[in-house]
């Protein structure tokens, strides 16, 4: 069933393969042309409802629930199950699988591939998930997100119950996430904790989904340590976020005076090293992830950094953490 035409009020039943999605993510999947700000206004004014009641962006969906969609005359609709229109990208996604079992699939997401779609994003992981069924009748579900320009571990649940368990583990901070970042400069303190609240930045100069340090914002905490440094020119940091705010690691690294290499959004011109063998791309990689499994040992996952990251590390004479070659288990 497709979402109803957008010229009148429609009532859409949540399908089994959308179970566990947040309501705002459901909209991004099925009505990608609806801007986030517009959706928030529709929710504030009660025009979008869930089973007849006022809904919130973070409401988790269950099969059979009824979503009221108000008239959206300027918005195009898309099929409930996104079509795989780029077979090459779908094949690349299959090759990016670093771990698979009966509950979940772990991907080493390439840099530059968005996790979910939008009005200007047609190629994304969510739209390619049908290629990761591996014989299952259920369509896999996203559990969490990575920024488009961040590479590394991305989990996909293979069933609605698995999605609920994994989402709860992330929500209750039962997971351990480790990112690697090449930064320009070296932090004055080689190991510590960054505890700086963040909020959305205002004004067109910041662009879409930009964050800024704000005492009145949401608390954001990151543990960090310097794994290696190239004089005072650059360093390889190990980052362990204890909270999951938008662009948290990028803003926190910039707050140390050491922006992530390639992050012009938060570091400006200071985020680049002018050298032919160093890519002008974001050097932030989700390298490790640990999570609990009911009745099993904790799952420990590892994803090797992408080629441009490894090339920069080599060009700067840096060394990866000792167990960089460890696999998923």
Q: What is the pLDDT of residue 75?
A: 47
Q: What is the pLDDT of residue 20?
A: 80
Would residue 147 show up in a list of annotated catalytic residues for this protein? yes
| Predicted local confidence at residue 23, as pLDDT | 92
Give alpha helix (H) positions in the chain.
Answer: 23-30, 36-44, 87-95, 160-171, 248-255, 264-267, 307-315
Neighbouring residues of 328: CB distance < 8 A, sequence distance ≥ 6: 98, 99, 106, 299, 300, 301, 302, 303
The pair of structure tokens assigned to 325 is 């070659």
The angle at the Cα of 104, spanning 102 to 106, to the nearest 5 degrees, equals 130
Per-residue tokens: 91? 């094949």
* DSSP conformation class of 111: T
- Measured over the CA atoms of residue 203, residue 207, residue 208 and residue 212, the dihedral's sign is negative
Q: What is the pTM of this model?
A: 0.76
Give φ, ψ of 308 to 5 degrees. -65, -35
Enumerate domains of the chain plus CATH numbers: 10-69 (3.10.290.10), 82-172 (3.30.2350.10), 175-329 (3.30.2350.10)
Q: Using CB atoms within 10 A of its CB, is residue 231 exposed (0-12), middle (13-18) or buried (19+)?
A: exposed
| pLDDT beneath 50, residues of the chain | 1-6, 74-84, 204-206, 325-326
**134-193 tens-digit pLDDT:** 988 888 999 999 999 999 999 999 988 898 899 889 888 899 999 999 999 999 999 999
Q: Which of 147, 149, 228, 263 is catalytic?
A: 147
Interaxial angle between packed helices 36-44 and 23-30, expressed in degrees from 0 to 180 and rounded to the nearest 10: 130
Q: Give the pLDDT of residue 158.
A: 92
Is 104 within 8 Å of 53 (Cβ atoms)? no
């Amino acid at each position: 069933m497709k979402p109803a035409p957008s010229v009148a009020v429609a009532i859409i039943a949540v399908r089994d393969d959308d179970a566990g999605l947040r309501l705002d993510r459901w909209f991004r999947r099925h009505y990608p042309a609806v801007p986030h700000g517009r959706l928030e206004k529709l929710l504030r004014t009660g025009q979008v409802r869930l089973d007849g009641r006022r809904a919130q962006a973070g409401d988790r969906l269950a099969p059979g629930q009824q979503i009221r969609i108000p008239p959206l005359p300027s918005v195009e609709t898309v099929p409930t199950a996104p079509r795989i229109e780029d077979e090459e990208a779908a094949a690349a996604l299959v090759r990016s699988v670093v771990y698979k079992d009966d509950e979940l699939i772990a991907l080493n997401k390439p840099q530059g591939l968005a996790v979910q779609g939008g009005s200007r994003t047609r190629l994304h992981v969510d739209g390619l998930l049908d290629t990761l069924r591996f014989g299952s009748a259920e369509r896999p579900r996203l559990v969490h997100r990575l920024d488009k320009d961040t590479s590394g571990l991305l989990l996909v649940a293979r069933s609605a119950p698995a999605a609920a368990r994994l989402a709860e583990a992330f929500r209750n901070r039962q997971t351990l996430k480790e990112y690697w970042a090449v930064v320009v400069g070296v932090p004055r303190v080689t190991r510590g904790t960054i505890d700086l609240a963040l909020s959305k930045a205002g004004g067109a100069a910041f662009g879409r989904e930009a964050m800024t340090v704000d005492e009145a914002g949401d608390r954001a905490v990151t543990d960090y340590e310097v794994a290696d440094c190239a004089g005072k020119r650059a360093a390889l940091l190990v980052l362990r976020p204890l909270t999951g705010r938008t662009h948290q690691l990028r803003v926190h690294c910039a707050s140390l005076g050491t922006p992530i290499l390639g992050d012009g959004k938060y570091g400006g011109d200071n985020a680049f090293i002018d050298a032919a063998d160093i890519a002008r791309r974001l050097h932030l990689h989700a390298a490790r992830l640990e999570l609990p499994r009911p009745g099993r040992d904790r799952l420990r996952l590892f994803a090797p950094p992408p080629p441009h990251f490894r090339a920069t590390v080599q060009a700067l004479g840096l060394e990866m953490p000792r167990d960089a070659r460890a696999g998923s288990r």
